């Protein structure tokens, strides 16, 4: 079963996002909160800030990012195989 280029791109983008851009997302939510003053946006900032910090100090961060990318590729393939069986 060939894996589509689109799925490869999504998997690689998700892994790179988790590795490099999670704290940057928190700062985007922070700036957006100060523009809008909506509390749910601040909650999003708090969640991404905590996730960015704890994931940043996590010892196996690279492995976790690679596992997320592998899951994005493998799970649809497994469902496709199970449907045919």
| In a domain? residue 72 | yes
For residue 63, what are the domain limits? 10-84
Query: How far, in Å, CA of 24 to CA of 47, rounded?
Result: 12
Domain count, the chain: 1
| In a domain? residue 47 | yes
Q: What's the pLDDT at 73?
A: 95
| In a domain? residue 3 | no
Each residue's pLDDT, cut to its tens digit, for the chain (85 residues) gives: 688 999 999 999 999 999 999 999 999 999 999 999 999 999 999 999 999 999 999 999 999 999 999 999 999 999 999 998 7
| In a domain? residue 31 | yes
Helix, strand, coil percentages (3-state) for the chain, rounded to 5, are: 85, 0, 15
| In a domain? residue 4 | no
Q: What pTM value is reported for the model?
A: 0.84
| In a domain? residue 27 | yes
Tokens encoding 65: 């990012």
| In a domain? residue 5 | no
């Amino acid at each position: 079963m060939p894996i589509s280029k689109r799925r490869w791109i999504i998997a690689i983008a998700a892994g790179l996002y988790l590795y490099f851009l999670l704290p940057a997302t928190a700062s985007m939510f922070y700036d957006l909160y100060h523009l809008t003053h909506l509390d749910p946006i601040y909650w999003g900032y708090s969640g991404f800030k905590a996730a960015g910090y704890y994931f940043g100090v996590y010892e196996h961060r690279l492995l976790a990012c690679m596992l997320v990318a592998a899951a994005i590729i493998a799970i649809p393939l497994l469902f496709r195989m199970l449907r045919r069986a």
